[in-house]
Chains A and B, each alone.
Chain A
Amino acid sequence: MNQRFQVVQPGSAEASGASAPATPKNLPNRGGETNPSAGALQQRFGGAVKRVDVVWGETTVYIDGASALEVITWLKDDPGQQYDYLSDVTAVEYREAEAPIEVVWHLRSLPFRRFLRVKAQIPKGQPLEVDSVWPIFKSADWLERECYDMFGIKFRGHPDLRRILMWEQYKEGFPLRKDFPLRGRFSRSEQLRQALAQNPEAKYSMEELTIADAFEDLPESMRERLKSGERTGE
């Protein structure tokens, strides 16, 4: 079983004359060196790429939310891009009430040692939905769940979009939204009342309880709820 892996060196796809990576210095606020992938994206997708911004040396590509999965799949698979590492999925809501909510993907290309930020803007009033990138990046699993948990953004195609940091019965909404007050939506007494009223059985998700033969040992009322397909969450 001496199946040793071939060591993968980042920067392997760079041209031989490429300079070694160095600490960025004296970055301009706007309009620094643009990541070449931004130009390639504009060429490939045209209208789906709305704007390219360079802030503090980091390139941001604003794309149409509907084509997010298509764009990111191309970035991953195209041999000239090879963005094979998804660092982060998150969202930004601005303080101005009418500013759109942004979904942000931070992508890295290890072979080219590039960094690219992809953003999709969802105007207020429209359903908060984008395609999940879970089919191509498994790292998106929990990151998208967290983003859903905190902002309420639904990732279409995610296999298990449940709350992750808040508990599944959490009813106060989405904590990182700007209309969510810092102290929580409910008063302390209401929070305490809900905590005391919690059902200890609900500490397992319904899905987990049905897998075990412990099912027969459950209280009658719970078995009925499980059979009727009720979920503990939401």
Chain B
Amino acid sequence: MAKRTVEVELSTTGLDAQGRAQRMPLSAIDDSGSAVAVAAPPSIEPELVGEHMLINIGPQHPATHGVLRLVLELDGETVVRCIPHLGYLHCGFEKSGEYRQYNQIVCWTDREDYLNSIGNNVAFALGAERLFGIEITERCKVLRVIAAELSRIISHLVWLGTTCIDIGAFTPFLWAFQQREKVYLLLEKWVGARLTTSATRVGGMAADIPSGWMEELRHFIKSFPHTIDEIDRMLTRNAIWVGRTVGLGVMTPEEATNWGLSGPMIRASGVAYDVRKDFPYLDYETYDFEVPVGTNGDVYDRFLVRMEELRQSTRILQQAADRLPDGPVNIDDPRVILPPKSKATSEMESMIHHFKVVMEGPRPPIGESYVAVESPKGEKGYYMVSDGTAKPVRWRIRPPSFVNLSAIPKMVEGHLLSDVIAINASIDIVMGEIDR
């Protein structure tokens, strides 16, 4: 069978002759080469000009990524005003935390940003350990870096897949979810759960990795970039993708900082703020990785930033896998760490320690701590205040999606109704974290 070649015209709207993404304004070029604004087409029904329409998206709408409700005031198809309503998933995590011991709160952290559950566990444990004044072991640090980066990969893959579906592409969703399944299998082998991992404890981890796990991780690190390349080839220069994302929801660097955006949102706007680089934790300063930064602050740049973060996470995983030291995972302090089960049932002291840790709970000194980590969505902070008892006085989650979403009226106003979906997708919200 003869090979058939199809010539593809690359210089469609949004791409220049080299096939690179081009920013197309809503204007045309006149004969002298200067830009003129495109006039609005004449109204078909003049009596309706100036009439505004109220439209309600959500709370039950697949493109709102959970139960977000947006009330939009439309002029034709243009959004004049956007009023978000939230709280449909509010279940009082912070209030419940005041009635729980520190190790019991770990389970709550799974359920807020449920796409990043093991990353939240790590973040919470870091906050609690600062409150307790604990320095964790080297092996635990590297294991937590592996956990945090794996969870960043899962979260970005879900974002990629669902955003593709929102904008109208189905195939990358399947590719992304195949890889996500591989990460979930890894997590399942490690901690026994896929979504609600509860993997950390104050002073260590719930479990060390099983034997043979590192080989599987290395296999994943090797095979995963292939999928990123595939999705990259499919989307980055795709005329439809570029046309649907370029120039939407622009935030300037000053606006992004002032609105408190974080994570890929602020970096796409050209502010190279990454908690891992600027306020490091878990020895991130010793890892070699880059912080991708966009220069246009639109939906397309957010996509590019997240794609590059997937690659950088793979780099960090590779380095962590190479340096994982032997040794204990948990610190050697019977006041906060449970003794091995075999000892708890055979030694008197261990049994007493076991009883005290379970029944009374570890008690930090009076004080407070705010530890922020770079979650896939942005700066995730846990602020804890202790009065010396086993339960925190106040446990506060600084939710990155919540603050990022607060800029949505600013981003969508003036855009078309169909672009609201793309902009909302680009924020990467998880309502579990926003409502808590």
Chain A interface residues toward B at CB < 8 A: 1-11, 20-23, 25-27, 29, 55-56, 58, 60, 84-88, 90, 92-95, 104, 106, 108, 110, 113, 115, 117, 137-139, 141-143, 146, 150, 163-167, 175-176, 180, 182, 204-205, 207-209, 211-214
Contacts and interface: CB of A to CB of B under 8 A. Distances in A.
Instruction: List the 5 closest pairs (A to B, CB-CB), nearest first.
Output: A139-B260, A212-B54, A5-B270, A1-B25, A142-B406
A141 B182 CA distance: 40
A92 B394 contact: yes
Contacts of A212: 52-54, 73
A173 to B, nearest CB: 12
Given A20-B285, A104-B383, A208-B54, 20 more contacts: A1-B23, A3-B296, A5-B295, A21-B277, A21-B285, A55-B368, A56-B367, A85-B260, A86-B260, A88-B383, A88-B398, A90-B394, A108-B279, A138-B260, A138-B407, A143-B260, A180-B95, A205-B83, A211-B81, A213-B53
Contacts of B370: 58, 87-88, 106, 115, 117
A86 B387 CA distance: 26
Nearest to B269: A5
Interface string B217-242: 00000000000000000000000000
11 contacts: A1-B247, A4-B296, A6-B253, A10-B271, A58-B368, A137-B260, A138-B258, A139-B258, A142-B406, A212-B53, A212-B54
A204 to B, nearest CB: 7
B370 to A, nearest CB: 6
B367 A55 contact: yes
A88 B95 contact: no
Nearest to B404: A139
A27 B133 contact: yes
Interface string B366-397: 01111010000001010101010000011010
B300 to A, nearest CB: 13
B284 A23 contact: yes
Interface stretch (B2-10, B84-92, B340-348, B413-421): B84-92
B62 interface: no
Contact of B86 (A27, A165, A214): A165
Contacts of B94: 150, 176
Interface string B59-96: 00000000000010100000001010011001010111
Contacts of B403: 139, 142-143
Summarize A's interface: helix, strand, loop or mixed.
loop
A88 B253 contact: no
Contacts of A180: 95
Contact of B369 (A55, A90, A146): A55
Identify the interface centre among A1, A4, A86: most chain B CB within 10 Å of its CB: A1
B257 A110 contact: yes
A27 to B, nearest CB: 7
B253 to A, nearest CB: 5
B309 interface: no
Contacts of A3: 296
B131 to A, nearest CB: 7
A138 B259 contact: yes
Contacts of A164: 86-87
B278 A10 contact: yes
Given A56-B367, A138-B260, A29 B280 contact: no
Interface string B259-289: 1110000000111110001111111110000
B259 A139 contact: yes
A31 to B, nearest CB: 12
B50 to A, nearest CB: 10
B272 A9 contact: yes
B278 A11 contact: yes
Given A1-B25, A55-B367, A106-B370, A92 B95 contact: no
B272 A27 contact: no
Contacts of B367: 29, 55-56
A61 to B, nearest CB: 13
Nearest to A60: B368
Contacts of A207: 83
B253 A5 contact: yes
Nearest to A4: B295
Interface in B270-324: 270-273, 277-285, 293, 295-297
A175 B91 CA distance: 11
A155 to B, nearest CB: 15
Contact of B406 (A106, A141, A175): A141
Contacts of B433: none
Nearest to B92: A175
Contacts of B247: 1
A26 B381 CA distance: 20
B271 A23 contact: no
B326 interface: no
B435 to A, nearest CB: 6
Contact of A6 (B255, B270, B280): B270
Contacts of B190: none
Contacts of B131: 56
Contact of A94 (B53, B92, B285, B393): B393
A166 B95 CA distance: 13
